[in-house]
Structure 1
Amino acid sequence: MSKQALIIVDLQNDYFPAGKWPLVGIEVAAANAARVLQATRQAGDLVVHVRHEFTAPDAPFFVAGSEGANIHPSVLNQGAEPVVLKHFVNSFRETELQALLDHHQIDELVIVGAMSHMCVDGITRAAADLSYKVTVVHDACATRDLEFNGLTVPAAHVHAAFMSALGFAYATVVSTDTLLAG
């Protein structure tokens, strides 16, 4: 029988409007992530919070020890829910995440969080490569406008491109409503 865990990736204060690196649509994404979190807790499934800190004191955001690096109150860990601290895009790199999932015999992951084009993408691809069955909840993830070669790419397009790519080969990509109805 499959065992599932929810992984909440980097929903930290710096990504919100008052933070150092605000994302487009972060409040809606966090509200949807909170709905998924509530359902996961009610089901008794494992919840893992991933929190990113940069090691350099001059980092643009998520500075170690700062309020901005703290998990946002909308999805704050409770009780014995583990928090995995990471310093890289890939949540598995040099962390205890895989050992934690293995300890709980997890083989399916539901992923929510930020940023769609970086850490959500990184954990999803790594998880699939490690043979986990992965579901990404697209409307519980957020990103920001990007710039490439003088062209501004709107956050909605960045998000859609990454969700499309993940859905092609790495994960099932669903809405919050679809996940919760399932």
Structure 2
Amino acid sequence: MSKNGLLVVDVQNDYFPGGRWTLSGMDQASDNVAKLIAAARAAGLPVFHVQHVMEEADSPFFTKGTIGAEIHAKVKPAAGEALVVKHEVNAFLGTDLKAKLDAAGVKNLVVCGAMSHMCVDAATRAASDFGYKVTLAHDACATRDAEFDGVKVSARDVHASFMAALGSYATLAPTADVIATTLKKG
């Protein structure tokens, strides 16, 4: 039987209201992340937390040593849960994330977190490329408005566009379905 695991990407203080890089819908998304974490813990499944830390003192957010870079209180790692600190968009790049997943025997990976169009996108694609069966809890992710070539794109549309594209790399499902089917005792 393939082992399931949960990957929580960058649910950090700077993404919440009052932070330096506020995301649209982060409170609701993080509530769903917390539900996923609780379900994984109850089922005895491994939870892997990713924390993005920027080394540059003038970084726009997640600056090393700041409260904004800390993982939000709603989703703090429990004792024994893996914490992977990254310095790039992709949680696998320059980290031991894959080694930790493999050591835990994870084959099926549930992904959630922020930002939909950056770090969640990169982690989902990389996990699929590494051969993991990926489920993306689409309502446990958040993003923000974007702009390209003078065209403003709402966070809702950014999120929808990236979820549509990630359907080629992952099974997309709402939190309640992920809990009922993937993050249960097996």
State the TM-score, normalizing by the size of structure 2: 0.96
Aligned AA (2:141) = C
Offset at 1:157?
0.3
Match of 1:26 in 2: 26
Code of the residue aligned with 1:124 in structure 2: it is T
Instruction: State the partner residue of 1:148.
Output: 148
TM superposition shift of 1:91: 0.3
Q: How much has 1:181 moved relative to structure 2?
A: 2.4
- TM-superposed CA distance for 1:54, in Å, is 1.0
- Equivalent in the alignment of 2:184: none
Counterpart position of 2:106: 106
> Alpha carbon RMSD of aligned pairs, Å?
0.6
- Other-structure match for 1:176: 175
The structural deviation recorded for 1:178 is 1.4
Structure 1 runs of 4+ aligned residues shifted over 3 Å read none
Mind listing any 5+ residue stretches in structure 1 that lack a counterpart?
none
1:151 is displaced (CA, Å) by: 1.2
Name the CA distance, whole Å, in 2 between partners of 1:113 and 1:2: 23
- 2: CA distance, partners of 1:170 / 1:7: 15
2:10 corresponds to which residue? 10
Q: What is the CA–CA distance in structure 1 between the aligned matches of 2:172 and 2:69, rounded to whole Å? A: 27
Q: Distance in 2 between matches of 1:135 and 1:26?
A: 20
Q: Deviations over 1:134-169 (max 9, x none)?
A: 0000000000000111111000000000001001x1
Structure 2 letter corresponding to 1:116:
S
Which TM-score applies when normalising by structure 1?
A: 0.98
CA distance in 2, matches of 1:89, 1:125: 12
* Aligned pairs, number: 181
Unaligned 5+ segments in structure 2 are: 182-186
Q: In structure 1, what is the equivalent of residue 96 of structure 2? A: 96
In structure 1, distance between residues paired with 2:80 and 2:179: 23
- Look up the equivalent residue of 2:171 and give its one-letter code: T
Superposition pairs of residues 54-73 of structure 1, within 5 angstroms? 54-73=54-73
- State how far apart, in whole Å, the 2-side matches of 1:181 and 1:82 are: 24
C-alpha distance in 1 between matches for 2:99 and 2:76:
22
